[in-house]
Amino acid sequence: MSTRYILSLFTCLLALTAISSSNAAPNGRVVGGADAAVGQFPHQVSLQRSDGSHTCGASIISETFIVTAAHCVVVGEGIEPYPPRFYQVRVGSIQRTIGGQLLKLKRIIVNKAYGDFHNDIALLELEKPLVFTKNIQPIELAEEEVPSGENVIISGWGRLSTNGPIPHRLQWNTLKALNAQECNEAIEMGYDSVICLAHNPDHGTCFGDSGGPATYKGKLVGLASFVYGGCGTTNPDGYAKVAYLREWIRANTGV
C-alpha cells in the first residue's frame, strides 16, 4: 500500500519520514509549476522558523489572522503548538528570502479535532495588524464545495520534486478537484474534511507547500496537507477543506 507524506519542509529536513495509512499524520515547490508574477498571489505567506528558514505556506485572511496547516506548527503528532516566538512570516513577496515584510506572531490556534489527516488547520495571530497594499491582501474563504473536474490553483515554495531543490521564487500550478467518492476510490481519503486535487505525473504539491493555498474562483478552498506515495505521482494530493472548516475559522477569528 502506498504511504502518505507530511508536507512540512521543516519536518522533511529532519527526515523524509513516511506515515503509514493506519496511523496517518499529515505531511509541501509546487511540482511542474511556473514562476508567479509579482502581485499574482497577494494572500500568499511564507511561514518560517525564527532563523528565517521556510517551513510552510499560509494565507492572509484578515488584518490580524493567517491560516495554515496544523501539522506545520504542532509538537510531534499532538495538537499543542510550538510557542509563537519560534516562527515569523514573510508577506507581500514572491521571494521566500527577500522583499515584503517580516512579521512576528502573537498566538497560534490549532484545531483541537486535528489528527490522522483530518482538520489539518491552524490560525496564526499577528502581533501587529497588517496594512494592506496591492501585494498584501486577504483572500475570501470558500463556503461551498468545488465541483468535480473544476480547475483549482495551488501555489507555494515547496520542493520541485521529492528530493529536489527548493525554489526562491513562488511557484503555481493548476490541478483538478475530485469529489469525495473519486478521492476515496483513488487514495481512500474521501472524507468531509479533505479535498483531493488530481494532476498529471510530475505535477502537484511537494514538501514545503504545506499549509499553502488552493484557490477556486478567487476563494480559498484548501490548505496543502499531504501527498500520497511522494511528490508528482499519479495520485491526487490532499488538502484540508476550507468549506468544511469555515465555521471553526469564523468562531476563532470572526472572519
**8, 59, 193, 210: the active-site residue:** 210
Rounded Cα distance between 23 and 70, Å, is: 16
Contacts of residue 52, Cβ cutoff 8 Å, sequence gap at least 6: 88, 97
Whether the Cβ atoms of residue 243 and residue 142 lie closer than 8 Å to each other: yes
Q: List the catalytic residue out of 8, 46, 59, 71.
A: 71
21 flagged as catalytic = no
Residue tagged active-site, from 120, 155, 199, 209 = 120
Contact between 110 and 73 under an 8 Å Cβ cutoff? The reply is yes
> DSSP letters of 22-75?
GG-------BT-EEPPTTS-TTEEEEEETTS-EEEEEEE-SSSEEEE-GGGTBS
Q: Give catalytic status of residue 93 as yes or no.
A: no
Comparing C-alpha atoms, which of 166, 240, 153 is closest to residue 199?
Answer: 153
Cβ atoms of 160 and 29 closer than 8 Å: yes
Q: Is 120 an annotated catalytic residue? A: yes
Report which residue type is found at 150.
E
Query: What residues are annotated to the active site?
Result: 71, 120, 210
